[in-house]
Amino acid sequence: MSSEAPPPFTERMLGMLEPAKLMTWAMSHYFRICAESVFKNGQILAPITQTRRLRDEAFGNFWVEFSSQPQRLMSPDPTTNQPPQPVGSSALIPPLLKTASGTVLDVGPGTGTQMPLLTSPSITSLYGAEPCTGLHAELRTRAIAEGISEKYYILPCGAAAAELIPALKATGTGVVDKYEDDASAGVFDTILCVRVLCSVPQMERTIGELYGLLKPGGRLLVTEHVVNPWWRAKGSFVARIAQGVYQFFGWSWFIGDCCLTRDIEGALSRAAEVDGGWESFELERSFEWSAMPYISGTLVKKGL
């Protein structure tokens, strides 16, 4: 459901340009990395022969810079003495992540900017599956700073089970032992998906595998930008066209394989069909007028 009223016309139009600003920022990092490879390191063919490496390095640099600027996401309240609070889509994240508990999988934690929300004693262990190894140093530093390094395990992989299960076994914690004997037992009490399902390969399959890794009664906490629901009353046909334009001009290439036009809500719903659906499927829709509309909420797997 969505209770949000669209902003004034001018604000909506300016909001359409937010992806353009992010893409321009990411592009500058990519071209800088390519230039350094060619002119500084003498790797003339690197932009052709080492494209994946350069893209990963550039995106890692961009994401570290982007996530290190909390002022972009915070708004002070001049009428109170309260500290600045998250605004926009960032405001959807804190109330959701603070409910995480048990054995937790954080899919694509990036630099760990959300780690302060994951320090609850109710979290017994936390696994961060981050395929971009260039972000691991920052992720490790944040875990130490938050005092959870002893229970935080960095996994150098994505969310696909073929990568995730071996990486979990390599931690030596025994977290997958029961799962290997009985897949219905699952692995995690909570799985976090925050701005990550937009970029995972084979989204439908990956979401299905994540569903399988949830323990019965386990919860999937989701905050994701999705394809604009232009067919709904609060959706926008103009925003849907804008999403297509950004995709055409290289959004996925420069923004770590992110896709603006994925039907993540539909894929999440279908993932539980094998068990007759989710026990609870509660998602709030926000910013449906924009080129980056969001869904956010808690999905609960049926118990045994």
Q: How many domains does the structure of the chain reveal?
A: 2
Whether 2 is covered by a domain: the verdict is no
CA distance to 142, 210, 230, 271, per residue, from 268 (Å) = 30, 10, 19, 5
Does residue 41 sit in the same domain as residue 185?
no
Tell me if residue 222 falls in helix, strand or coil.
strand
Q: Looking at the structure, tell me whether residues 242 and 161 fall in a common domain.
A: yes
CB neighbourhood size of 124 (10 A): 11
pLDDT of residue 69: 66
Q: Is 244 part of any domain? A: yes
| 177, 296: one domain | yes
Q: Give the domain-ending residue among 71, 100, 122.
A: 71
Q: Is residue 278 part of a domain?
A: yes
* Residue that is last in its domain, among 17, 46, 71: 71
Instruction: Take residue 270 and report the two structure tokens written for it.
Output: 């279908």
Predicted confidence at residue 66, as pLDDT, reads 82
Q: Is 215 helix (H, G, I), strand (E, B) or coil?
A: strand
Residues 178 and 126 in one domain: yes
State whether 97 and 246 are in the same domain.
Answer: yes
Structural domain includes residue 151: yes
Q: pLDDT 10s per residue in the chain (304 long)? A: 555 677 888 888 888 888 999 999 999 999 999 999 999 999 999 999 999 999 988 998 898 888 776 544 444 555 555 555 666 788 899 999 999 999 999 999 988 989 999 999 999 999 999 998 888 998 999 999 999 999 999 999 999 999 999 999 999 999 999 999 999 999 999 999 999 999 998 999 999 999 999 999 999 999 999 999 999 888 999 999 999 999 999 999 999 999 999 999 999 999 999 999 999 999 999 999 999 999 999 999 998 7
Same domain flag for 29 and 98: no
CA 32 from centre of chain: 25
Q: Which domain CATH number covers 96? A: 3.40.50.150
Asked if residue 134 belongs to a domain, the reply is yes
Predicted confidence at residue 292, as pLDDT, reads 94
Co-location of 54 and 180 in the same domain:
no
Report residue 282 as tokens. Answer: 């509660």
* 103 and 61 within one domain: no
Both 124 and 257 in one domain: the answer is: yes
Same domain, yes or no: 42 and 156? no
Kindly report the pTM of this predicted structure.
Answer: 0.89
> Is position 79 within any domain?
no
Compute the chain's Rg from CA coordinates. 20
Q: Is there a domain that residue 115 lies in?
A: yes
Q: Which domain holds residue 199?
A: 88-300
Residue 248 and residue 149 share a domain: yes
126 touches 148 (CB < 8 A): yes
Q: What is the pLDDT of residue 72?
A: 47
- Same-domain pairing of 56 and 108: no
**In whole angstroms, how far apart are CA 17 and each of 93, 244, 245, 289, 291?**
23, 13, 11, 13, 8
**Residue 53 neighbours by CB distance under 10 Å:** 12
Considering the domain boundaries, does residue 80 fall inside one? no
Q: What is the pLDDT of residue 82?
A: 58
pLDDT at 49: 93
